[in-house]
């Protein structure tokens, strides 16, 4: 099986998929870009292009990449979150499988530019097959009639490379709650802040901070005991802070599913999730799921995880759930199964 992965943006996840697929005997060529802030030196299976539509730039490397991809003779092409129309030529070299993460934008800040939608939306829906990462998104695409071809569900993996995994953090070293990623309206800050304020004024609070990690557009003063690290970050800079958290908050107003959620499970950190989208679908049995506007219940969930022993207990359950359902080798086996099914049913050229 020869797999051409075209992933200009989600490079860390694409690398993890590529290396796990290689471990299962597949040949993989990954065409990617340096757009992701975790990008570094190209690996042996990677071809790095601009990934952005700059008409007067990048043509020679693109032509070379196209010729290399032709020589590779892929059995399938996997496409994900294109930004450069030229990449559509690469996508035509074999039956195409698109990966779709979201059934709709999280909010207005998540809507792709008009030119991106014009070049890619209808074209993308004509793929030979579609892979999504939750039953919620699968049902939503079917309801919107946006999945005319075979539709498959695969596990969503964390973008933290397994080699970077820290040790599980014991109770005595646990501190703080985290709200990770782009700080945009879908993160539901008003409800989260109200619940945090109620938690810090109650008897369960143990001096923790709520730490916001990531850039965004928040305005107005932050509540007491809330700290915002306002910049994009690399995992090596914040990994210990992530791993020792008592809880990760994914109490979103809108979500298909959350990479933050699987990252937390991978690290052994319990997640406080809302009932939006597929967030409940990803939670371990018995883990916190509360209504989007339920301040009181979310505050009680914070009270529970403020106890470091309880945070560790739930963290172990979350990590085991990740290993059984979302770990990268589990995902690679499912992806290879899908690729083989698509090629078996592809029309003969």
Q: CA triplet 227, 108, 214: central angle to 5 degrees?
A: 25
Q: Give which of 241, 244, 249 is closest to 283, Cα–Cα.
A: 249
Q: Which residues, including other chains, have CB under 8 Å from residue 289's CB and lie 6 or more apart?
A: 273, 274, 275, 279, 280, 283
Tell me phi and psi for residue 97, to 5 degrees.
Answer: -115, 120
Question: What confidence score (pLDDT) does residue 6 get?
Answer: 96
CATH class of 2-157+327-345: alpha beta
Q: Do domains 2-157+327-345 and 162-325 have the same CATH topology?
A: yes
Query: For 181-194, what is each residue's pLDDT tens digit?
Result: 989 999 999 999 99
Strand, helix or coil at 151? strand
Residue 32 · residue 57 · CB < 8 Å: no
Q: How far apart are CA 195 and CA 51, in angstroms?
A: 41
Measuring CA to CA, how many Å separate 87 from each of 24, 77, 141? 27, 11, 24
| Whole-angstrom distance, CA of residue 176 vs CA of residue 170 | 14
Q: In CATH, what number does 162-325 get?
A: 3.40.50.2000
DSSP assignment of 313-333: HHHHHHHHHHHHHT-HHHHHH
Write down the pLDDT at residue 37: 74
- The tokens of 315 are what? 């963290």
> Tell me: the pLDDT tens digits for 199-223?
999 999 999 999 999 988 888 889 9
Residues 6+ apart with CB under 8 A from 43: 15, 30
Instruction: Say which residue the tokens 């070299």 belong to.
Output: 93
Q: What is the pLDDT of residue 94?
A: 96
The DSSP annotation for 97-147 comes to EEEE--SS-SSGGGPPPHHHHHHHHHHHTTSSEEEESSHHHHHHHHHTT--
Q: What would you report as the CA-atom Rg of the chain, rounded to the nearest whole angstrom?
A: 21
**pLDDT for position 17:** 97
What pLDDT score does 89 carry?
93
Domain ranges of the chain: 2-157+327-345, 162-325
Tally the C-alpha atoms within 13 A of residue 309's C-alpha that lie toward its C-beta. 0
Summarize pLDDT for 257-282 with one digit per residue, the tens: 899 999 999 999 999 999 999 999 99
The pLDDT value given to residue 349? 55
How many angstroms separate the CA atoms of 199 and 194, rounded? Answer: 9
**pLDDT less than 50: residues of the chain:** none
């Amino acid at each position: 099986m020869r797999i051409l992965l075209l992933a200009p943006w989600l490079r860390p996840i694409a690398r993890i998929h590529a290396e796990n697929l290689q471990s299962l005997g597949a040949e993989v060529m990954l065409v990617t870009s340096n757009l992701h802030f975790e990008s570094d030196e190209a690996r042996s299976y990677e071809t790095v292009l601009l990934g952005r539509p700059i008409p007067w730039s990048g043509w020679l490397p693109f032509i070379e990449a196209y010729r290399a991809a032709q020589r590779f003779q892929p059995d399938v092409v996997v496409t994900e979150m294109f930004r450069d129309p030229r990449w559509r030529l690469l996508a035509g070299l074999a039956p195409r499988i698109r990966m779709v993460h979201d059934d709709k934008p999280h909010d207005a800040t998540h809507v792709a530019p008009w030119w991106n939608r014009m070049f890619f939306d209808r074209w993308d829906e004509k793929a030979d097959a579609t892979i999504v990462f939750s039953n919620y998104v699968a049902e939503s695409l079917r309801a919107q009639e946006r999945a005319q071809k075979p539709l498959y569900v695969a596990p969503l993996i964390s973008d933290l490379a397994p080699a970077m995994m820290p040790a599980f953090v014991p109770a005595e070293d646990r501190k703080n709650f985290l709200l990770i990623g782009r700080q945009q309206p879908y993160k539901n800050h008003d409800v989260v802040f109200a619940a945090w304020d109620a938690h810090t004024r109650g008897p369960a609070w143990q001096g923790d901070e709520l730490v916001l990690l990531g850039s965004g557009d928040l305005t107005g003063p932050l509540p007491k005991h809330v700290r915002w690290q306002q910049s994009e970050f690399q995992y090596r800079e914040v990994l210990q802070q992530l791993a020792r958290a008592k809880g990760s908050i994914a109490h979103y107003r809108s979500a298909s599913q959350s990479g933050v959620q699987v990252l937390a499970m991978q690290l052994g950190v319990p997640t406080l999730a809302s009932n939006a989208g597929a967030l409940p679908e990803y939670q371990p049995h018995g883990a916190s799921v509360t209504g989007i506007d339920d301040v009181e219940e979310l505050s009680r969930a914070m009270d529970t995880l403020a106890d470091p022993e309880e945070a560790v207990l739930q963290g172990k359950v979350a990590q085991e759930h990740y290993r059984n359902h979302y770990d990268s080798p589990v995902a690679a086996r499912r992806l290879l199964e899908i690729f083989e099914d698509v090629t078996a049913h592809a029309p003969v050229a």
